[in-house]
Amino acid sequence: MILIDGKKTAEEIRKEISVEAKRIFEKRGSRPHLAAILVGHDGGSETYVAHKVKDCQEVGFDSTLVRFEDNVSEDELLEKIRELNINPLIDGIIVQLPLPKHINEQKVIESIDFRKDVDGFHPVNVGRMVIGLPAYISATPQGIVELLKRYRITTAGKTCVVVGRSNIVGRPLSILLSMKGEPGDCTVIVCHSRTPNIEHFTLQADILVAALGKPKFIKANMVKQGAVVIDVGTTRVPEASAKNGWKLTGDVDFNEVASKCSYITPVPGGVGPMTRVGLLYNTLLAASKKIYQ
Amino acid sequence: MILIDGKKTAEEIRKEISVEAKRIFEKRGSRPHLAAILVGHDGGSETYVAHKVKDCQEVGFDSTLVRFEDNVSEDELLEKIRELNINPLIDGIIVQLPLPKHINEQKVIESIDFRKDVDGFHPVNVGRMVIGLPAYISATPQGIVELLKRYRITTAGKTCVVVGRSNIVGRPLSILLSMKGEPGDCTVIVCHSRTPNIEHFTLQADILVAALGKPKFIKANMVKQGAVVIDVGTTRVPEASAKNGWKLTGDVDFNEVASKCSYITPVPGGVGPMTRVGLLYNTLLAASKKIYQ
């Protein structure tokens, strides 16, 4: 069994991104620049945005953090996005989700210029990805594909079972892995909450992706001997002995499952760090105009 | 075994569309209006476009056919689309594919205002469909979903195997049937040219969709007893006894397979007529501003 080290891989990619960021600076005199919008003071959101700003610093990107209070109006938020859209110094724009209930999240996402939509949530980027055109791919599926590539796990002709059909992980990953090319060319099975006898499908998986958000859902009797197991789960499960009172827990019962796998990602230190690096990668693509002119 | 009568179902839907078209005329004083662009004189394309114009007449839509010779420049074509985009009398725009090689098809598709893209090929419509937002769904997958609905074939919890991953049939259908809701909530398996032991998967199908374009590919030994079989194939296979020298042939070996099925679509008279009606339905949606304002 080989443990897939997402932390180390993400570190390598960060270094590659730093080198490219320097080249961009030399070429155009300004660093890749991410603008992040944060509304309110939700603990999780604060942490995520702080990570994103720190990640930018580490690879030599500029970042702008725009903060609004919870009571910001939708119009104010949209006005700020319009401003960032036309600001030539800003390469990428993200809005930390979730937003307060009085704001239409979808409207906000669609108001971002798709050429700066480095989260890859805008319908144009989703649609282009599905059609097979260059697009920003959202960070988690992109990170998983990158892990498969860097660990030289062949995918063509393999059966890949994706458990979960969310718009930001399960759905795009199931599409990417069934497309022509490598990584890709998998026979893909999409399972979800309405799938009966889910183990009937998971047992067919050469590559099993657990992205349903239920801690330790995947047990040893659901996994084929020799499978590659990718765990996307990151649920905070209360644990008295942990210093913050909780423990990040994956969707796979690692202790049971690991010994059956050819490869497995741990939680933490698997997919998570790759998700963080995905945003940096997209911002780099934006700054180097590799997707859109 | 129940034969799914696409022709009759399409006829019913046409009638419903006619009623709605009349309502729109009474309300706004103009009929739903489709503009079709045809480049060159390819026999197949001529036939398809002629059908589309005739279909419009039959349900009380206006239609405009714009013809260009094979040597039309990309710029000329794009200029015409710009004109149709801003013409308030035109509700829907389609460009008959394929286009001559010197014209970038994707560029042409993307130049159509997505609010008038009644073929549902524009990235915005593809992306919105994937995300689960209102969008124009391309005609064939939409027609198949409609057949399942009207024959009251439940899909939730069923295993659906889609053979073929094309952008206009296999891919969108696999997404639609795995989404939340009815029809939907299927566990979906996407098979394609790189799937080994394809019968291992097709035999699991409660609903089997053959959309790979290989005549009579699906044999009886690949189909589970009691399956619903949807045949998207429409290959013209040479046949001396036929009056035009060919016979429209599906991807399913109907004679072998039919007796094993609970439901099956014939070719011709199954999915084909539903595809034709899909375009009318989208044009109606455009005229009534049900997707976009």
Quote ipTM for the complex: 0.96
Q: Mind telling me how many Å the CA of A128 is from chain B's nearest CA?
A: 5
Under the banding of pLDDT at 50, 70 and 90, the label for residue A244 is confident
Provide the mean pLDDT of chain A.
97
Report the residue of chain A nearest B177, measured CA to CA: A190
CATH number of the structural domain B28-129:
3.40.50.10860
pTM above 0.80, yes or no: yes
pLDDT for A284: 98
Report the residue of chain A nearest B179, measured CA to CA: A165
pLDDT for B215: 98
Strand partners, B163: B191, B210
Confirm whether B142 is a catalytic residue: no
Kindly calculate the radius of gyration of chain B based on its CA atoms and give it in whole angstroms.
Answer: 19
The CATH classification of domain A139-271, taken from the options 3.40.50.720, 3.50.50.60, 3.20.20.450, 3.40.190.10? 3.40.50.720
Query: Which of A126, A179, A189 comes nearest B187 by C-beta?
Result: A189
Return averaged pLDDT per consecutive 10 residues of chain B, 293 residues in all.
Answer: 98 98 98 98 94 98 98 98 98 97 97 98 98 97 98 98 98 98 96 98 98 98 98 95 93 98 98 98 97 94
**Cβ-defined contact of B157 to A194 (cutoff 8 Å):** yes
- Kindly report, as residue ranges, where domains of CATH 3.40.50.720 are found in chain A: 139-271
**Cβ-defined contact of A131 to B157 (cutoff 8 Å):** no
Confirm whether B243 is a catalytic residue: no
| Set of chain A residues whose Cβ sits within 8 Å of the Cβ of B168 | none
For strands B263-264 and B2-3, give the pairing: parallel
- Token readout for B166 is 């094309």
Query: Taking Cα atoms as reference points, which of A204, A193, A212 lies closest to residue A252?
Result: A212
| Set of chain A residues whose Cβ sits within 8 Å of the Cβ of B162 | none
| Set of chain A residues whose Cβ sits within 8 Å of the Cβ of B167 | 130-132
Q: A200 to each of A192, A223, B155, how far by Cα in Å?
A: 13, 10, 18
Q: What secondary structure, in 3-state letters, does chain A show?
A: CEECCHHHHHHHHHHHHHHHHHHHHHHHCCCCEEEEEEECCCHHHHHHHHHHHHHHHHHCCEEEEEEECCCCCHHHHHHHHHHHHHCCCCCEEEECCCCCCCCCHHHHHHHCCHHHCCCCCCHHHHHHHHHCCCCCCCHHHHHHHHHHHHCCCCCCCCEEEEECCCCCCHHHHHHHHHCCCCCCCCEEEEECCCCCCHHHHHCCCCEEEECCCCCCCECHHHCCCCCEEEECCCEEEECCCCCCCEEEECCECHHHHHHHCCEECCCCCCHHHHHHHHHHHHHHHHHCCCCCC
Confirm whether B96 is a catalytic residue: yes
Interface of B with A (CB under 8 A): 106, 122-128, 130-133, 156-157, 165, 167, 171, 174-175, 178-180, 185, 187-192, 194-196, 201
Instruction: Return d(Cα B70, Cα A2) in angstroms, integer.
Output: 57
Alpha-carbon torsion, ordered B80, B85, B86, B87, to 10 deg: 80
**Cβ-defined contact of B167 to A192 (cutoff 8 Å):** no
For strands B246-249 and B235-238, give the pairing: antiparallel
Instruction: Return d(Cα B57, Cα B61) in angstroms, integer.
Output: 6
Other C-beta atoms closer than 10 Å to the C-beta of B156 total 13
**Cβ-defined contact of A167 to B201 (cutoff 8 Å):** no
pLDDT for B79: 98
For B159, which DSSP code? E
- Kindly report, as residue ranges, where domains of CATH 3.40.50.720 are found in chain B: 139-272
Instruction: Return d(Cα B280, Cα B273) in angstroms, integer.
Output: 11
Q: A179 to each of A141, A189, B193, B283, how far by Cα in Å?
A: 13, 13, 11, 30
Q: Which of B52, B116, B158, B224 is catalytic?
A: B52
- Kindly report, as residue ranges, where domains of CATH 3.40.50.10860 are found in chain B: 28-129
Rounded to a whole number, what is the distance in angstroms from the first to the last CA of chain A? 44
Instruction: Return d(Cα B225, Cα A111) in angstroms, integer.
Output: 50
CATH number of the structural domain A29-113:
3.40.50.10860
Instruction: Return d(Cα B186, Cα B123) in angstroms, integer.
Output: 24
**Cβ-defined contact of A165 to B187 (cutoff 8 Å):** no
Instruction: Return d(Cα A269, Cα A267) in angstroms, integer.
Output: 5
CATH number of the structural domain B139-272:
3.40.50.720
Query: Which of A106, A165, A174 comes nearest B133 by C-beta?
Result: A106
**Cβ-defined contact of B125 to A126 (cutoff 8 Å):** no
Query: Taking Cα atoms as reference points, which of A211, A212, A265, A215 lies closest to residue A235?
Result: A215
Interface of A with B (CB under 8 A): 106, 122-128, 130-133, 156-157, 165, 167, 171, 174-175, 178-180, 185, 187-192, 194-196, 201
Rounded to a whole number, what is the distance in angstroms from the first to the last CA of chain B? 44
Q: Give the best residue of B187, B188, B192 to mutate against chain A (max A CB count within 10 A).
A: B187
Q: Mind telling me how many Å the CA of A41 is from chain B's nearest CA?
A: 27
Q: Which of A119, A206, A231, A251 is catalytic?
A: A119
